[in-house]
């Protein structure tokens, strides 16, 4: 099992550009989540999904969109990148035991 995979590892965008951060898991987990990590602020929940076709907002959803068309994939879309979205993004999945398994992260810089 590869676990939770994220691509790309690094990305630099200009303000206003759009992009999609990819996340996939091969553990057949029902729950998936996106977090952002900023210095001194821990991890904050952006969006989460409790199953294919079902998503909901977390603590900091503004500027991000998600969809969950399959159990395996949970992409995060930035429609118009802003410097405030410079961060490290982590995807996680859970099989329902509350324990989350994290991907390696994507480091995003918005200029």
Partner 1 sequence: AQSVTQPDIHITVSEGASLELRCNYSYGATPYLFWYVQSPGQGLQLLLKYFSGDTLVQGIKGFEAEFKRSQSSFNLRKPSVHWSDAAEYFCAVGASRGEKLTFGTGTRLTIIP
Write out the residues near partner 1 by the rule CB under 8 A. 31-33, 35, 40-45, 48-50, 58, 90, 92, 94-105
Pick the closer one to partner 1 by CB: 58 or 63.
58
How far apart are CB 79 and partner 1 at their closest, in Å?
A: 23
* Closest C-alpha among 22, 26, 23, 21 to residue 3: 26
Pick the closer one to partner 1 by CB: 35 or 64.
35
Looking at 1-111, list the stretches that DSSP marks H as alpha helix, in order from N- to C-terminal side: none
How far apart are CB 82 and partner 1 at their closest, in Å?
A: 23
Question: Cα–Cα–Cα angle for 29, 54, 13, nearest 5°?
Answer: 85
**Residues paired with 16 in a beta bridge:** none
């Amino acid at each position: 099992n590869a676990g939770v995979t994220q691509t790309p590892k690094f990305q630099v965008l200009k303000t206003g550009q759009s992009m999609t951060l990819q996340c996939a898991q091969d553990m057949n987990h029902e729950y998936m989540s996106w977090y952002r990590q900023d210095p001194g602020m821990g991890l904050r929940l952006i969006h989460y999904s409790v199953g294919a076709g079902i998503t909901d907002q977390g603590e900091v959803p503004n500027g991000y969109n998600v969809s969950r068309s399959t159990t395996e994939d949970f992409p995060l879309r930035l429609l118009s990148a802003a410097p405030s979205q410079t961060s490290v993004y982590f995807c996680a999945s859970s099989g329902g035991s509350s324990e989350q398994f994290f991907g390696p992260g994507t480091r995003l810089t918005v200029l």
